[in-house]
Amino acid sequence: MPIDISKFDKCNILVVGDLMLDEYLWGEVDRISPEAPVQVVSIKNEDYAMGGAGNVVHNIVALGAKVIPAGVIGSGKNGQILLNKFKELGVDTAGIVQEPGRTTTKKTRIIASHQHVLRIDRETDKAISDPTLEKITRFIKDKIADVDVVLISDYGKGLITKTLLSGLISAAQKHKKVTIADPKGLDFSKYSGVSLLTPNKKEAALASGVDIVNESSLEIAANKILQNVHLDKLLITCGKDGMVLFEKNRSPYRVRAEARQVFDVSGAGDTVLAILGLAVASGVSIKNSVTVANAAARIVVGKVGTATVSKQELSLALKIVVGKVGTASVSNQELASAFKSDDNSLPSKYKDLPELPALIGKLKKKGKRIVLTNGCFDLLHVGHILLFSASKQLGDILIVAIDDNESVKTLKGPGRPVLHSKERVRILSALDSVDYVVVFSSRELEKLIEIIRPDVLTKGSNYTSEEVFGRELVEALGGKVVLIPVTENISSTRIINNIKSSRQD
């Protein structure tokens, strides 16, 4: 069946799992330490990302769906950073319990010139306390009737106990909800009753006691797991060899993966879990859901650090893979061809709001100075061109935020906009001075500013500083507002009125 990822927007996913904080220290190496034969990394930037179940949540948000996380963190600084990350994404944190005295899992990765030099882990695998178990169990039972799919992200950090799983699976079965679990550990019996289990090849080998060296031993391991654990389906992810779906008394369903340059496998399993959940929730068959997840995994391993997949990346990949039986290989040439042939696709300069946090993080890490300007930009004219050109000279990256159709109608009145937001995005993306284009609702401007944290916000000098909406927030975040001189007596409204007047004459 065709896969329409626009349906993801209507999905509601419950994610229960181990929440982690991923810290990235980016630097350069130009010498060896005189104290020991080790590299000296000169740190240039640092960044934080949500890891573990948090990365599953981030992937779901990036694809436009609603998500409800449930998990446990500590009450210290690292736990607060994680909470702030969730709030930046607009995710409700009511199901995240701060347990006093507990260590928030933090993984620090030191990266020099895109090479992973060292990882430092601070964590605990101590089982959650009884009060925490009670709070999370109650939260799950309160929410489960209203979600489409339940995802379980187990990293063995003390949350996903047999007791918690028993209550969760029982509640899911009662409400006829699909449960998909990414497991950890040697004993898979605690996952009995889930709809789909997604171990990688190494985990499947350890749990089954079978040394997986070829397709035959893979099948033996899978069948042993299916015999010992009450499961509907088992999906074993095999890295560069793709994925294999197993069901009792059925032939394995193999999804191949085309070899590609791998920069970082961090979070690839999180992406697979998130995409599987979204695809199933949107009504896609399990086999096609596996195909979608495989395409997403291929994309994310080509990125450095814990990363997400955008709607555009996934939609382009799916143009090729959907409909292929037993394979999900997508070449760069095929992706480029699909992009060129897609009349309805938006240019690569266009970014959804959920894509912005990751993009802004990368730009900030590179030390880029970001300029933001916003407006309706209905019917592009010379005044707009001058605004964009002058704005770009104030920084390295110019982001143009345009009001969505409903906002333009509210601001300008009936008959506006003349051009649909998609048309405006395509026109603006053709300008060399414009680096990225975002569509937003007027009521989201402050949220947009909080995400972008621009160094400069520009408007035309037909405004005063006091009239610039968002000025105080920009300045509070360390930026400034610059008014670009407007010398041309021209506007979209004036052009439209002239056209109307000429027609009447």
Q: Where are the beta strands (DSSP E) in 136-248?
A: 149-153, 178-182, 196-197, 233-237, 243-246
Are 282 and 11 a contacting pair, CB within 8 Å? Answer: yes
Task: Tell me which H or E stretch contains 174.
Answer: helix 162-174
Centre a 10 Å sphere on the Cβ of residue 118 and count the other Cβ atoms it contains: 13
8-state DSSP, 351: -
3-state SS, 43-88, equals EEEEEEEEEEHHHHHHHHHHCCCEEEEEEEECCCHHHHHHHHHHHH
Catalytic annotation present for 125: no
The half-sphere exposure of 184 on its side-chain side, counting CA atoms within 13 A, is: 19
Structure-token match 């909406």, residue found: 469
Concatenated DSSP letters of 225-286: HHHHS--SEEEEE-GGG-EEEE-TTS--EEEB------S--TTHHHHHHHHHHHHHHTT--H
254, 333, 252, 334: which is closest to 294 by C-alpha?
254
Catalytic residue among 154, 270, 403, 455: 270
Q: Beta strand 436-440 with 243-246: parallel, antiparallel or unpaired?
A: unpaired
Point out the residues that are catalytic.
270
